[in-house]
């Protein structure tokens, strides 16, 4: 039988820990602060940013949403980031992706102080993750949240074969690094991988982050595998579905995340967790 990984339930546990950490920091006179910058009016991004702001406020954090017009120039955005870099009430800065075409996304990522890089996308923090650097630094929230879910369901990557389909900076590459650091044997596969489905079938842990609805079906899953679906796609009826065909995976996968209710809720809970950590670490000189 296939067991469903309940991302909402794990997110609830993480949020409870975050609430405790916020209370502990309050006793020291510190209120974690997050600034989320959104450029333009992409409907889905508006919802995600609203959810982040609501959650941060509910957990007792200082939360700022900076809504900018779609015509914002790169220099204007850089100036706003510089101001948050210098603002002691803000511990985490996040620029919601996607950005309009006139803005060079890597340049924006580089402009955020690595100590306030709550997304964990800055090359300094990505480099630390890849080198399994000791000490404290932020890690991309979606893959980190997936590691939390795996741990919560007793899935230890050590010695397992893991396949990550997708090589983005947000999910695929940091996911592969986290699984490698946890002693899995990891393959990163992508659109140019020869016989992608045969590679998928080798995985004890299969993470799918391609943006292609139902790319992976039950026939592509090793019996008993843990399947993590990062996709948020629309099917022909406009319904939200994942990169994995959930129905055909039943009875084949050992564990599987649903869409919605799997990875998504963990992304925001982990973002809150990271914000509190950045506030905590900002108080310690290195």
Ligand X SMILES: Nc1nc2c(c(=O)[nH]1)N[C@@H](CN(C=O)c1ccc(C(=O)N[C@@H](CCC(=O)O)C(=O)O)cc1)CN2
Token digits of residue 10 = 């794990």
**Least distance from C-beta 167 to ligand X, angstroms?**
16
Asked if residue 166 belongs to a known ligand binding site, the reply is yes
Q: Is 143 or 262 the residue whose CB approaches Mg ion more closely?
A: 262
Query: Active site includes 74?
Result: no
- Rounded CA-CA distance 67/74 in Å is 15
**Least distance from C-beta 174 to ligand X, angstroms?**
11
Query: Active site includes 52?
Result: yes
Q: Is 100 or 260 the residue whose CB approaches Mg ion more closely?
A: 260
Contacts of 221 (CB under 8 A, 6+ apart): 200, 201, 203, 206, 227, 249, 252, 253
Q: Write down the catalytic residue from 55, 115, 119, 204.
A: 119
214: three-class secondary structure by DSSP = coil
Token digits of residue 91 = 């511990």
Please tell me the count of residues contacting Mg ion according to CB under 5 A.
5
**Least distance from C-beta 267 to ligand X, angstroms?**
4
Interface of this chain with Mg ion, residues 220 to 279, rule: CB under 5 A: 259-260, 262-264
Other Cβ atoms less than 10 A from the Cβ of 224: the count is 11
Q: Write down the catalytic residue from 55, 96, 116, 273.
A: 96
Query: Active site includes 96?
Result: yes
**Least distance from C-beta 123 to ligand X, angstroms?**
15
Please give the DSSP secondary-structure letter assigned to residue 220: G
Q: Is 12 or 223 the residue whose CB approaches ligand X more closely?
A: 12
**Least distance from C-beta 171 to ligand X, angstroms?**
8
Token digits of residue 107 = 């340049």
Q: Is 77 or 259 the residue whose CB approaches Mg ion more closely?
A: 259
Residue whose C-beta lies closest to ligand X: 264
- Phi, psi values for residue 163, rounded to 5°: -125, 125
Binding partner of residue 94 among ligand X, Mg ion, none, CB cut-off 5 to 8 Å per kind: ligand X
Other Cβ atoms less than 10 A from the Cβ of 5: the count is 25
Asked if residue 248 belongs to a known ligand binding site, the reply is no
**CA 99 and chain centroid, separation:** 17
- Rounded CA-CA distance 142/140 in Å is 6
- Rounded CA-CA distance 71/200 in Å is 42
Q: Is 117 or 229 the residue whose CB approaches Mg ion more closely?
A: 229
Q: Is 126 in contact with 174 (CB distance < 8 Å)?
A: yes
Q: Is 253 in contact with 227 (CB distance < 8 Å)?
A: yes
Binding site for ligand X (CB under 6 A): 48, 94-97, 119, 141-142, 170, 232, 240, 259-261, 263-265, 267-268
Instruction: Output the known binding site.
Output: 166-168, 191
Binding residues for NADP(+): 166-168, 191
Instruction: Give the footprint of Mg ion on this chain (CB under 5 A).
Output: 259-260, 262-264
Residues assigned a catalytic role = 52, 96, 119
């Amino acid at each position: 039988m296939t067991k469903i990984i309940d991302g909402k339930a794990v997110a609830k546990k993480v949020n409870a820990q975050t609430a405790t950490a916020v209370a502990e920091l309050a006793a020291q006179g510190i209120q974690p602060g997050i600034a989320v910058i959104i450029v333009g009016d992409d409907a889905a991004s508006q919802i995600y940013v609203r959810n982040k702001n609501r959650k941060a406020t509910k957990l007792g954090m200082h939360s700022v949403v900076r809504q900018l017009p779609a015509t914002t120039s790169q220099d204007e955005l850089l100036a706003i980031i510089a101001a948050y870099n210098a603002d002691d009430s803000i511990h985490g800065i996040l620029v919601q992706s996607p950005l309009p075409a006139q803005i060079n996304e890597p340049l924006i990522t580089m402009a955020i102080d690595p100590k306030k890089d709550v997304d964990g996308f800055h090359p300094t923090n990505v480099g630390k993750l890849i080198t399994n650097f000791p000490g404290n630094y932020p890690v991309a929230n979606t893959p980190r949240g997936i590691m939390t879910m795996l741990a919560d369901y007793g899935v230890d990557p050590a010695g397992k074969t893991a396949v990550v389909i997708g090589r983005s900076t947000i999910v695929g590459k940091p996911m592969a690094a986290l699984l490698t650091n946890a002693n899995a044997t990891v393959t990163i596969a992508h659109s140019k991988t020869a016989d992608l489905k045969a590679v998928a079938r080798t995985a004890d842990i299969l993470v799918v982050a391609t943006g292609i609805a139902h790319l992976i079906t039950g026939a592509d899953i090793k019996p008993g595998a843990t399947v993590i679906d990062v996709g948020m796609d629309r099917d022909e009826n406009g319904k939200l579905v994942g990169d994995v065909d959930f129905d055909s995976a039943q009875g084949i996968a050992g564990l599987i995340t649903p869409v919605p209710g799997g990875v998504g809720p963990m992304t925001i809970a982990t973002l809150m967790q990271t914000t509190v950590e950045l506030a905590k670490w900002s108080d310690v000189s290195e």
